[in-house]
Amino acid sequence: MRTPSLHVTALTVCAALVSLPALAGPVEMPNRKPGLWEVKVNAGAQMPAMTMQQCTDASTDKDMASTFSPMAKEMCAKQDMQKTATGLVIESTCTVSGVTSTSRTEIVGDFNSAYTVKVVTKGSGKIPDSVTTMEAKWMGACKADQKPGDIVMPGGMKMNIKDMQSMTGARPKQ
């Protein structure tokens, strides 16, 4: 049985990973440099740290925005993004599976070599607060067996944003 803290932490990590390129508004999230990105995610004591790799190009970052932005808009009553001297800050209030939380996301760095994302989430009721940190580093060109959109999860499981779009019936906006 899942504990509420593990459930919310997993949702926070998933939401942060898929929604970062998808957030849009008056301030646009920049595309990452094309190539292979290593992303280390640490959600604190509630969940083990994990490292994944993402092979990206400009079109796959845009595809992620087109695929996941409608879901984020449905789940989040508030998504405000502001530029800062060192990066971006995003304030949001979202409801997932009947659980509402507020979060502050700080992104520091650039999207060419490395960036860090810190998500501080405040739960409601029985849901505890959490802090999730993601550190992304550009590794170079994608590997020979990778194509843009590939995400290699811990344990070697590989999925592609194009496959995820077809599973959800989502199509990128042109």
pLDDT tens readout for residues 17-44: 444 444 445 567 778 899 999 999 998 8
User: Ranked by mean pLDDT, which of 37-41, 129-133, 154-158 comes out on top?
Assistant: 37-41
Give the predicted TM-score (pTM) of the model: 0.76
pLDDT band at 164 (very low <50, low <70, confident <90, very high): low
According to the model, what pLDDT value does residue 173 have? 42
According to the model, what pLDDT value does residue 145 have? 93
pLDDT band at 166 (very low <50, low <70, confident <90, very high): low
Q: What is the mean pLDDT of the chain?
A: 77
Mean pLDDT in residue range 75-97: 86
Mean pLDDT in residue range 66-93: 80
Of 74 and 107, the one with more pLDDT: 107
Kindly provide the b/e burial profile for residues 22-52, where b requires at least 16 CB atoms within 10 angstroms of the residue's own CB.
bbeeeeebebbebbbbebebbbeebbeeeeb
| Overall size of the chain counted in residues | 174
